Amino acid sequence: MIYFDNAATSYPKPKEVGQAMMYFLEKVGATPGRSGHRLSIEAGRILYQARESLAELFNVDDPLRIIFTLNVTEALNLALKGLLRPGDQVITSSMEHNSVMRPLRELEKKGVEVKVVSCSPKGFLEPQDIEKSIRKNTRLIVLNHGSNVIGTLLPIIEVGKIARKYNILFLVDTAQTAGCYSLDIRKDNIDLLAFTGHKALYGPPGTGGLIIGERVDTKKLTPLKEGGTGSHSEWEEQPDFLPDIYESGTPNILGLNGLKEGVRFVLAKGVDKIHQHEKNLIIQLIEGLKEIPEVTLYGGDDRKEQVAVVSFNLKDKWPSEVGMRLDEEYDIMCRVGLHCSPAAHKTIGTFPRGTVRFSMSWFNTLKEVDQVIMAIREIAKSI
Amino acid sequence: MKDNYSVVIFYSTSAAIRAESLAQKANLKIKLIPIPRHLSSDCGICLQFNNEDKQSIKEILKKTKLNMKIFIKYKFFQVGAYCG
């Protein structure tokens, strides 16, 4: 079996991830941050160590500025709905996933102005186009770092500089880059960094978070939910300090112990080494696909700076048919269709048909890439 | 002997565990214990330390406080009768 659907969820995971989850179930079990007994304290330590590993990965000074959520979608919802008020303007790109687009369209109905800056058909964004869209009421710029459809990168450092120049907050969706592409919340000029645990951080599904940068005033970022935190139990109001203000209810400590090991795995291998490996894979895959005349590839021409995601179509075949044949005849798992990103597919000209998408991880090999190219070549011949 | 200990009370367990992690890195002898009931009605934990380490603990927490700004507040209490 060849698994080329890592942009959805990475598989397999490092073995330590599952071991840590089993350790929690068998040896710890308790709720962190509530009771004072030793198992509860141990659970609290696990939670803190997970924050500490992520703080190291993203260069965050204070691990308590990392808020855990269910996934990147929840983190983005927290940032967008927590910050934006009727009358505010928010700027985004035409390459966004529905995890950004849908909350924005919902906020639009409530009086938030949504400005979508167009990217080129190859998925690139000109930072000046963002700057030109800034108005007096612009409150936030939100961009994905790496496209989940074609793997292209958006110029976050440059846009972050612009955001600072105009004193606007900058939210980055790192779903496709956290763990496989170097990210530094300070050097990259990010104010709010939303990440997910189940992709290139090699954690289990149900883990993710939002990192609250120093420029963010938490008084102006309302929580998505209120509830028990284990702190200030005598109050009926939500605590006003991090991370408790945004973390109500018993967290997914089981999953977060897995995520902690996933992040430690990434730190031990080194993001640059992982990136280099994935770069070798994607370059070889694209070179191979380019040689097949029936293949139409999407995305940029220079493939040196992108994540290990590629989209293509085979002549006029429906992507779903190609995907089914890859699964049933070749034991190759991929994702077909619109990838929850109608805006991105409109930008690259593949809406509503969609594409076939391959996405790789540290655990894929050059040999697998060759097998996949062979399979596509055979399917192309049989059309 | 009991009078040789103090505790630091935090408003959240995450903060207490962060302090534990930093104190351990500084090789200080500390322990997380349930908050003595007469000090707070909260059901959380606090950081117990030797009084002779008070200055080092203060320095560590001061640094933390800078990073966290206004979110984490702490108090020192002499609670020899309850801890140790």
Q: How many Cα atoms within 13 Å fall on the side-chain side of residue A184?
A: 7
Q: Is the pLDDT of residue B79 over 50?
A: no
Q: Is the pLDDT of residue B83 over 50?
A: no
Residue B31 CA to residue B23 CA, distance in Å, equals 10
CA distance B58 to chain A (A): 18
Write the residue in B18, B44, B68 that is nearest to A48 by C-beta: B18
Identify the three-state secondary structure at position A29. coil
Higher pLDDT, A341 or B58: A341
CA distance A207 to chain B (A): 18
Residue of A nearest to B10 (CA): A231
Would you place residue B42 in the very low, low, confident or very high pLDDT band (cuts 50, 70, 90)? low
State mean pLDDT over A280-298. Answer: 96
State mean pLDDT over A131-159. Answer: 97
Cβ contact A36–B33 (<8 Å): yes
CA distance B65 to chain A (A): 10
Give the neighbor-by-neighbor strand order of the sheet with A138-144: A66-69, A208-212, A192-196, A169-173, A138-144, A89-93, A113-117
pLDDT in tens, A351-373: 999 999 999 999 999 999 999 99
Give the lowest-confidence range in A186-200, A335-349, B12-26, B46-60: B46-60
| Residues A52, A256 contacting (CB under 8 angstroms) | no
% helix, strand, coil for chain A, step of 5? 40, 15, 40
Residues of chain A with CATH 3.90.1150.10: 2-10+270-382
Give the lowest-confidence range in A7-11, A218-222, A301-305, A316-320: A301-305
Residue of A nearest to B41 (CA): A234
The CATH number assigned to the domain with range B2-74 reads: 3.30.70
Interface pTM (ipTM) of the complex?
0.78
Would you place residue B41 in the very low, low, confident or very high pLDDT band (cuts 50, 70, 90)? low
Residue B77 CA to residue B83 CA, distance in Å, equals 11
| Residues A173, A81 contacting (CB under 8 angstroms) | no
Strands of B4-79, DSSP E: 5-9, 30-34, 45-50, 75-78
pLDDT of residue B12: 78
Q: Is the pLDDT of residue B44 over 90?
A: no
Percentage, residues of chain A above pLDDT 90: 93
Provide the mean pLDDT of chain A: 96
Higher pLDDT, A375 or B17: A375
pLDDT of residue B84: 28
Would you place residue B72 in the very low, low, confident or very high pLDDT band (cuts 50, 70, 90)? very low
Higher pLDDT, A80 or A304: A80
Residues of chain A with CATH 3.40.640.10: 15-269
Token pair of A164, please?
């600072």
pLDDT in tens, A250-269: 999 999 999 999 999 999 99
Write the residue in B13, B20, B34 that is nearest to A231 by C-beta: B13
Residue A219 CA to residue B67 CA, distance in Å, equals 17
Give the lowest-confidence range in A70-74, A142-146, A339-343, B3-7: B3-7
Q: Which of B7, B9, B10, B13 to mutate to test the interface with A (most CBs of A within 10 A)?
A: B13
**Which amino acid would we find at residue A100?**
V
Token pair of A117, please?
């800056």
State mean pLDDT over A202-228. Answer: 97
Q: Is the pLDDT of residue B74 over 50?
A: no
Domain boundaries, chain B: 2-74
N-to-C CA span, chain B: 8
Cβ contact B15–A64 (<8 Å): yes
Provide the mean pLDDT of chain B: 70
Give the lowest-confidence range in A147-156, A190-199, A236-245: A236-245
Token pair of A8, please?
């959805």
State mean pLDDT over A293-313. Answer: 90
State mean pLDDT over A295-301. Answer: 91
CB atoms closer than 10 angstroms to residue A178: 29
| Residues A118, A167 contacting (CB under 8 angstroms) | no
Residue A195 CA to residue A337 CA, distance in Å, equals 23
CA distance A146 to chain B (A): 30
Would you place residue B52 in the very low, low, confident or very high pLDDT band (cuts 50, 70, 90)? confident
Q: Is the pLDDT of residue B71 over 50?
A: no
Fold adopted by A15-269 = Aspartate Aminotransferase; domain 2 (3.40.640)
Q: Is the pLDDT of residue B80 over 70?
A: no
Q: Is the pLDDT of residue B73 over 50?
A: no
Place of tokens 């002549």: A315
Phi, psi of A342 (to 5 degrees): -60, -40
**DSSP string covering A81-93:** HHH--TT-EEEEE
Residues of A in contact with B71 (CB under 8 A): 64, 218, 240-242
Is the CATH number of domain A2-10+270-382 4.10.490.10?
A: no
Write the residue in A37, A51, A64 that is nearest to B68 by C-beta: A64
Write the residue in B11, B35, B72 that is nearest to A36 by C-beta: B35
Question: To 10 degrees, the CA torsion angle through A95, A10, A17, B21?
Answer: -20
